Structure formats: structure tokens, C-alpha cells
Amino acid sequence: MRQPPTKAQPRHPATRFTRPRRSLCQAWNLKRIIAGGHACQLRPAYSKLTPGDYAKRVIWGELYDPALRFQLDEGFDFCCILPGYLPTNSEESLGNASLIVWLNRGV
């Protein structure tokens, strides 16, 4: 049976990248990190929701998107949907991405 992760062993693999980025941002006194995030589960919901409504429902906890939920849990704020950000052959996101930002509150 697999053991739950410890503090030294993050839950999500992407944590390996987000924590060092935040540390650099803080060390260099940068104001923010801005990124485009992938909406993993948009395609199944697309027939019923616009990408913006999909993101709102993920933020409110009504829908689950692993990528956006992870980013929100890591302290990023959702800003808007970026249509055409990803290649249109991106099956899951239909070419959409989320604009996310992490604010360095220590600056």
C-alpha cells in the first residue's frame, strides 16, 4: 500500500516546480508570477458551459479540474480565460487556457 506523502514529499508532482518559482520570486523581490494554465477537463463540459463558466464552477467547487484546482490550491488566482492560447488540437482544453497569477505579498 502506498503511504501518504510527507512534508518533504509533496502531494502533486507539479509542486516541484511551483515552490522553487515562488522562492525565486521572493528572493528577487518580484511582484508576481504570471502563467497560462491548462484546463484539463473542459471538453466534456463544453457542450453545456462556456470556458469562463467552467472556470467559475471549478473555483466555486462545483466542478473538478485537476490542473486549475492544483493552481488555486498553490495560491494562484484565476484572472480570465485565454482563448486560442494552446494549439487548437489540444483535445482536453479546446485551445483555451486560464490566465493565473501568484502575488508576492512580501514586496
| pLDDT, tens digit (0-9, with 9 covering 90-100), for 7-28 | 554 566 677 778 889 999 999 9
Q: Is residue 83 part of a domain?
A: yes
Instruction: Give the Cα separation of 69 and 64 in Å (integer).
Output: 7
Judge whether 36 and 105 are in contact, CB under 8 Å.
no
* Structural domain of 67: 30-103
Provide the whole-model pTM: 0.77
User: 84-95: per-residue pLDDT in tens?
Assistant: 887 766 667 778
Q: Is residue 17 part of a domain?
A: no
Q: Is residue 22 part of a domain?
A: no
Q: Is residue 2 part of a domain?
A: no
Instruction: Give the Cα separation of 92 and 8 in Å (integer).
Output: 32
Q: Is residue 93 part of a domain?
A: yes
51-60 and 66-73 are packed helices; what angle lies between their axes, rounded to 10 degrees?
50
Q: Is residue 15 part of a domain?
A: no
How many independent structural domains does the chain possess?
Answer: 1
Instruction: Give the Cα separation of 14 and 20 in Å (integer).
Output: 11
